[in-house]
Amino acid sequence: MLAIRRRRELSNPLVFFVIVVSLFPLGVSPDQDLLSKMAPGVIWVTALLATLMSMDAMFRSDYDDGSLEQLLLLPGPKILLIGAKITAHWLSIGLPLVILAPLMSLLLYFPTHAIGSLVITLLISTPILSLLGSVGVALTLSLRSGGILSSLLILPFYIPVLIFSTMAINASANSLPVSGYYALLGAFLIVSALLIPFAVVAALKVSYN
């Protein structure tokens, strides 16, 4: 809810996403074949970076004004609170990215019949990005320069998501079966949704040490 009140901050990572994607044709070449081949990778890497940029907003302002500490003191399971935070983050960043990505893929001449798989992989995987990212943010909350550090910690963990998603999109662009990739990504989502909130609670405890 708070995010809606700060619309500018909310839209910054999305604008970043749009700008960076459109930099690639300028920087590499406007060649249609090359761009359509690169499109899944470009969109995915840019989506990763945009998610990372927005990660800091998940706990930072609540930490600074002390409300996070109050929330953690509430009775009841802390896992629910963390889950709500992560869901809110996904709704404010992940979902808009899912909606924006097909549009940007057109700018990169991505074959239209594969756009469906692009949307599906983003839909399954952006929650994973929010989940994994929350660990990094929670660990670096009490640090002044936490933002860049948490990106360093989290990016290696994003590698499997990146690999499976781009493989799925490429397979779909070549009209190969893709359901196996979706299943793997889905499994990854379930496992991280089950385990990561516990890690986040532990990390927040360390930050409040």
Partner 1 sequence: MMQFIHKYGSPKYFYQWSYGWQRWLTVITVLLLGFGLYQGFFVAPPDYQQGESYRIIFIHVPAAWMSMFVYMVMAVSGIVALVWRIKVAEIVIGESAVIGASFTALALITGMLWGKPMWGTYWVWDARLTSELVLLFLYFGVIALHGAFEDPRTGAKAAAILAIVGIINIPIIKYSVEWWSTLHQPATVAKFDKPSMHISMLIPLLVMALAFKTYFMALLFARTRTEVLAREKNASWVKEVVEQES
| Site for partner 1, rule CB under 8 A | 135, 139-140, 142-143, 145, 149, 152-153, 155-157, 159-160, 163-164, 167, 188, 195-196, 199, 202-203, 206-207, 209
Closer residue to partner 1 in complex, CB, 46/134: 134
Instruction: Compute the distance between CA of residue 176 and CA of residue 60 in angstroms, rounded to an integer.
Output: 43
Residue closer to partner 1 by CB (options 43, 132) is 132
Query: In the complex, what is the shortest distance from the CB of residue 102 to partner 1, in angstroms, rounded to a whole number?
Result: 24
**Calpha distance 102→119 (Å, rounded):** 7
Least Cβ distance, residue 3 to partner 1 (angstroms): 26
- Tell me if 97 sits within 8 A of 16, measured CB to CB: no
Q: Which residues contact 171 (CB under 8 A, 6 or more apart)?
A: 117, 177, 178, 181
Distance CA 42, CA 27 (A): 12
Report yes or no: 135 and 203 within 8 Å, Cβ to Cβ: yes
Q: Are 48 and 163 in contact (CB under 8 A)?
A: no
Q: How far is the CB of 154 from partner 1 (least distance, A)?
A: 8
Nearer to partner 1, 14 or 141 (CB): 141
Minimum separation from the CB atom of position 190 to partner 1 (A): 13
In whole angstroms, how close is the CB of 139 to partner 1 at the nearest point?
Answer: 5
Contact 126, 97 (CB under 8 A): yes
Residue by residue, DSSP assigns 105-126 as HHHTT--GGGHHHHHHHHHHHH
* Closest approach of partner 1 to the CB of residue 93, in Å: 21
State which residue, 24 or 164, has the beta carbon closest to partner 1: 164
**Which residue number, 96 or 127, has a Cβ lying nearer to partner 1?**
127
What distance in Å separates the CA atoms of residue 100 and residue 103, rounded to the nearest whole number?
A: 5
The per-residue DSSP string of 57-68 comes to GGTHHHHHTTHH
Closer to partner 1 at the Cβ: 6 or 205? Answer: 205
